Structure 1
Amino acid sequence: MEEKPTKHTQENNHLSYGSARNIVFDKYEMGRLLGQGTFAKVYHGRNLRTSESVAIKVINKDQVKKEGLMEQITREIAVMRLVRHPNIVEIKEVMATKQKIYFVMEYIKGGELFAKVAKGRLKEDAARKYFQQLVSAVDFCHSRGVWHRDLKPENLLLDENENLKVSDFGLSALPEHHRNDGLLHTQCGTPAYVAPEVLRKRGYDGEKSDIWSCGVILYVVLAGYLPFQDENLMKMYSKVFKSEFEFPPWFSYDAKRLISRLLVADPQKRITIPGIMKNPWFCKGFNRPIAFSIQEPVTETPLEQDDEAQKKELELKRSKSSPPFYNAFAFISSMSSGFDLSNLFENRTRSGTLFTSKCSASSIMSKLESLAKKTNFKMVSNKDFKVRMQGASEGRKGKLSVTAEVFEVAPEVAVVEFSKEAGDTLEYGKFCEEDVRPALKDIVWSWQGENSVPRTEM
């Protein structure tokens, strides 16, 4: 007879073993250990409500704090919330106690691409399919301002349908990690897959370095071994700097041509993702998805709260007749910091374009409807003080889809948040600057960052 779930309220009970089932926050049942690293263990889990299989990554908070890696963990959460794509491992929920952080993620049971290649090189059609899915995922990451920086077969998983899923965004970077020269400078990644400009420590473009790593991966799955190999690490680096490698005889002419353009030592001469997608070898059988959108927000509990605090709603109180309210404490905090509204969004994605208004919520909603008509955007939905509109024309990432939501922070103060659900980031930025700002200037009290360009969701 199956035991009933046990309610745990103490931290040390969350991972207890024995006859009792291991229940996390009364939501997930913890199962067998799938793998472990220095600071984390990954378990198979089951959603108690839906019976869906999940992977639960459990991180020791004290250890990561001691090693100064808390910022990296926070960044990984932020990145995974941005990059929801069919070929990227999905993060479903983040929970935390005083001692542990729990990442609840999509369970991928097909294992690593590395394990498949370790059994022998792949046939060209199979390698092409995985490479197409990899490039599609990487292109999506780049469109949202995310550079992976540790692409390798060990971080590429396969689901039950043999579809590729990119994982492990622990070393990824966002636009704010650029220095004044507009480049990234942190040397990271796995040596055999790292671009020469990263090894030179002079700054690098995250997009171009990811493309190099994709080239190494394509070579590996077709050859069954690395293009740059040597027992002496410095000699291997020398080969990387010169892009010195040879093709095995079984590579097709078109595959060799593409890899030769991917593994170019000079990043300025390296092929771009649009160039890859026009390549004849790559295009064979490739159906490029029109667009990707975030269907459901990822829920998250603050990393510093305990169990009981997690069970309280801290952010929004909604009603059918009025827009959602922010709690008074957050509003006072924002006012005391020079009206910096970032505090209001501390537990949100903080990725939209924000402005404040002294107009009523209904007036703002009318103005948003006028904006949609003026810009030839289709109103997909309009309810609960939230408008979703979609552009008529196809862009680089399909049709641009934008959401605008109105929040009340006080009787005479409203916050309006624009965010991109689908489409290209550059097109979204242009839409905010050239269409949104002029159309709404008569109702705007203050944009966040008085003279700043509206922030775009990356």
Structure 2
Amino acid sequence: MNQPKIKRRVGKYEVGRTIGEGTFAKVKFARNSETEEPVALKILDKEKVLKHKMAEQIKREVATMKLIKHPNVVRLYEVMGSKTKIFIVLEFVTGGELFDKIVNHGRMREDEARRYFQQLINAVDYCHSRGVYHRDLKPENLLLDACGNLKVSDFGLSALSQQVRDDGLLHTTCGTPNYVAPEVLNDKGYDGATADLWSCGVILFVLLAGYLPFDDSNLMILYKKISAAEFTCPPWLSFSVMKLIARILDPNPMTRITIPEILVDEWFKKGYKPPVFDEKEDTNLDDVEAVFKDSEVRFKDDFYHLIYPLLSTM
């Protein structure tokens, strides 16, 4: 007789197939055995995280996502740890990446692109109000749920406002070249909010045009195009959206349009419904602190046990 397959469990979650893999993490489909709710389980190897000094970045990603409870942002439910692994339980989003939608179906009509852009601005505005800057906004990091609603994901490169220096600016160059704001490239410090907004402008252009506003195989030429905001809107766009894109893709962050100004823009406002959601405050980070504290102590102990026999023979 065939033995029934024993399902692997992590806490109350039954773990299934792998749905994604990166350098430091594997993402598996899982199901909450109490509620039957599907989740995405991000599994990190503690030893790799500590060896590559990634603990602070992972802590930051988790802390960031715990601060954000918004219908257009992927939810983080909880964090757990074992002797060798860190488990991050995330909302399971079934509709794929917005990027795939563009690749498979090409450019969008203005009303469809507008709906996604409105949801993106809602999410980004909320993140900024919590002192959180994403810093890597692009269609690959925008997921769609079963109802076609946009969900911002991947806060691995995000920055919390505590990391802002005394000059009030962030100083880490990061992101994906085609979507990065000119001030991020010039290495003189930048405002996380205005840099995120530039990326939103590039995303809007891509949704409507079906191609990137700034593109070149030579990185130096690409950076020059971005710094000069050297792009041309396709002729099929309406004048009102061309005007909005030009105000977002302003190479000067001081004169670039702000989110409050976008919210009253005539093109943006059409059919706009602000999100209504119940926000429960719960930003307790004890679970993640415990997960990392335990692993840091164990890592030091293991190191001591390896080194001690060598020292005693010297």
What is the rounded CA distance, in whole Å, between the counterparts of 2:164 and 2:47 in structure 1? Answer: 28
Match of 2:204 in 1: 218
1:52 is aligned, of 21, 37, 40, to 37
1:42 corresponds to 2:30:
no
RMSD over equivalenced CA pairs, Å: 1.9
Give the alignment partner of residue 291 of structure 2, picking from 290, 303, 311: 303
In structure 2, what is the Cα distance between the partners aligned to 1:298 and 1:55?
21
1:52 and 1:2, CA in 2 relative to 1: closer, same or farther beyond 3 A? farther
Residues 3 and 187 of structure 1: CA distance in aligned 2, closer, same or farther (over 3 Å): farther
State the alpha-carbon separation in 2 of the partners of residues 168 and 208 from structure 1: 19
1:54 to partner: Cα distance: 0.4
Cα distance per residue 1:40-92 (max 9 Å; x no partner): 01111100111000000001111121111110000011100101100000001
Contact 1:91 1:106 survives alignment (8 Å): yes
Q: Using structure 2 for the length normalisation, give the TM-score.
A: 0.89
Counterpart residue number, 1:237: 223
Checking the alignment, whether the CA contact within 8 Å between 2:46 and 2:84 is kept in structure 1 is yes
**Letter of the 2:120 counterpart:** L
Match of 2:225, as an amino acid?
K
Match of 1:74 in 2: 59
- Tell me how far 1:116 sits from its aligned partner: 0.3
Say if 1:45 and 1:189 are closer, same or farther in 2 by CA, change over 3 A: same
Select 1:199's aligned residue among 172, 181, 185. Answer: 185
Of 100, 115, 121, the residue aligned with 1:115 is 100
Change in Cα spacing, 1:68 to 1:305, as seen in structure 2 (3 Å) is: closer
Q: Partner letter of residue 229 of structure 2?
A: S
Instruction: Quote the Cα distance in structure 1 between the aligned partners of 2:46 and 2:240.
Output: 49
Q: What SS does structure 1 have at the residue aligned with 2:69?
A: coil
Task: Specify the SS of the correspondent of 1:215.
Answer: helix
* 1:396-427 C-alpha deviation (Å, 9 max, x unpaired): xxxxxxxxxxxxxxxxxxxxxxxxxxxxxxxx
> Structure 1-normalised TM-score?
0.61
Does residue 180 of the first structure (1) align with residue 187 of the second (2)? Answer: no
* Contact 2:71–2:277, Cα closer than 8 Å, also in 1: no
The Cα shift of 1:139 comes to: 0.2
Residue 291 of structure 1 and its aligned partner are, at CA, apart by 6.4
CA distance in 2, matches of 1:206, 1:107: 28
1:235: how far off? 0.4
Contact 1:82/1:144, CA 8 A, preserved across alignment: yes
Give runs of aligned pairs for residues 318-357 of structure 1, distance below 5 A. none
- Equivalent residues, number: 292
Shift of residue 267 of structure 1?
Answer: 0.2
**CA distance in 2: counterparts of 1:294 and 1:20, whole angstroms:** 37
Query: Is 1:282 matched with 2:268?
Result: yes
Structure in which a larger fraction of residues adopt strand: 1
Correspondence 1:135 to 2:121: yes
CA contact (8 A) 2:65 2:75 kept: yes
Aligned: 1:99 with 2:94: no
Compare 291-300 and 212-221 and name the one that shifted more.
291-300
Q: 1:304 offset after TM fit, Å? A: 3.5
The residue matched to 2:198 in structure 1 has which SS? helix
Give the Cα–Cα distance (whole angstroms) in 2 for the partners of residues 263 and 190 of structure 1: 16
| CA deviation after TM superposition for structure 1 residue 250, in Å | 1.2
Could you tell me which runs of 5 or more consecutive residues in structure 1 were left unpaired when the two chains were aligned.
Answer: 5-18, 308-458
The Cα shift of 1:2 comes to 11
Cα distance in 2 between the residues matched to 1:92 and 1:162: 21
Distance change >3 Å, CA 282–CA 21, structure 1 → 2: same
Per the TM alignment, residue 160 of structure 1 is displaced from its structure 2 partner at its CA by 0.3
8 Å Cα contact 1:45-1:54 kept in structure 2: yes
CA distance in 2, matches of 1:79, 1:53: 22
Quote how far apart the aligned CAs of 1:306 are.
Answer: 6.6
Q: Is contact 1:94-1:102 (8 Å) kept? A: yes
Q: Aligned partners of 2:90 and 2:37: how far apart in 1? A: 11
Report the CA distance between 1:289 and its aligned residue.
Answer: 3.1
Match of 1:273 among 259, 265, 273: 259
- Residue 147 in 1 paired to residue 133 in 2? yes
Verify the 8 A CA contact 1:97 1:305 in the aligned structure 2.
Answer: no
CA distance in 2, matches of 1:248, 1:91: 39
Of 63-72 and 133-142, the range deviating more from structure 2: 63-72
Counterpart CA distance in 1 for 2:260 and 2:292 is 42
Cα separation, partners in 2 of 1:144 and 1:41, compared to 1, 3 Å = same
More helix by share: 2
Identity in percent: 55
Change (3 A) 1:111 1:306: same
Identify if the C-alpha distance between structure 1 residues 54 and 2 changes in structure 2 by more than 3 Å, giving closer, same or farther.
farther
SS of structure 2 residue aligned to 1:77: helix
> 1:110/1:267 Cα in 2 relative to 1: closer, same or farther (>3 Å)?
same
Report the Cα offset of residue 124 of structure 1: 1.1
Distance 2:283 2:35 in 1: 18
Of structures 1 and 2, the one scoring higher in RCO (CA 8 A, sep 6+) is: 2
Answer whether contact 1:96 1:305 (CA < 8 A) is retained.
no
Distance 1:295 1:181, change over 3 A: closer
Q: Distance in 1 between matches of 2:107 and 2:3?
A: 46
Q: Secondary structure at the match of 1:289?
A: coil
